[in-house]
Amino acid sequence: MKQAKKQLFHDFIARKGLKSTRQRDLILDGFLSNDRHMSIEELYLALRAKHPNIGYATVYRTLKLFSESGIAREIQFGDGQTRFEHVDEGEHHDHLVCTRCGAVKEFANEAIEKLQAAIAESHGYLVHTHKLELYGICPKCRK
């Protein structure tokens, strides 16, 4: 699955006539082997620990490429940091976010998805994305 994403990204690189570079591979490895909801800075610092002179701008640009290639998606939990999560082919989920510790729980609910589609339909909108986030306190933080 990690291999599949590497493959997808390499195909994307080739298709677009972009170059395969050491940095892109490092960043891809870092992204794929870390938490599913990392901010640019978190990934940058993690990579920086092993590769002292990788640039923030390169991490930033490469994450954008991951989004374009379809292996990542930008998310925004309202804490001022843009985060990126892994995208699995044909899968969709929404988020439960702990406002105390930042923990993120993913969930999928077919009934809600259907209701959303019906609402969009009834208002004549052609929906291409949606965002459903529940903010609260996680079980751990509730003690």
Interface residues toward a second copy, by CB under 8 A: 76, 78, 96, 98-99, 105, 107, 109, 111-112, 115-116, 119-120, 123-139, 142
- Put the strands of the sheet holding 82-86 in their side by side order: 38-39, 82-86, 72-76
According to CB under 7 A, which residues from 89 to 108 bind DNA? none
Type of residue found at 102: G
Site map 40..79 versus Mn ion, x via CB under 5 A:
----------------------------------------
Q: Which residues, other chains included, contact 119 with Cβ-Cβ below 8 Å and sequence gap of 6+?
A: none
Q: Which residues, other chains included, contact 133 with Cβ-Cβ below 8 Å and sequence gap of 6+?
A: 77, 94, 95, 96, 97
Q: Which segment (49-57, 85-93, 108-116, 132-140) binds Zn ion by CB under 5 A?
A: 132-140
Q: Which does 101 bind (CB under 5 to 8 A by kind): Mn ion, a second copy, Zn ion, none?
A: Zn ion
- The count of residues interacting with Zn ion (CB under 5 A) is 6
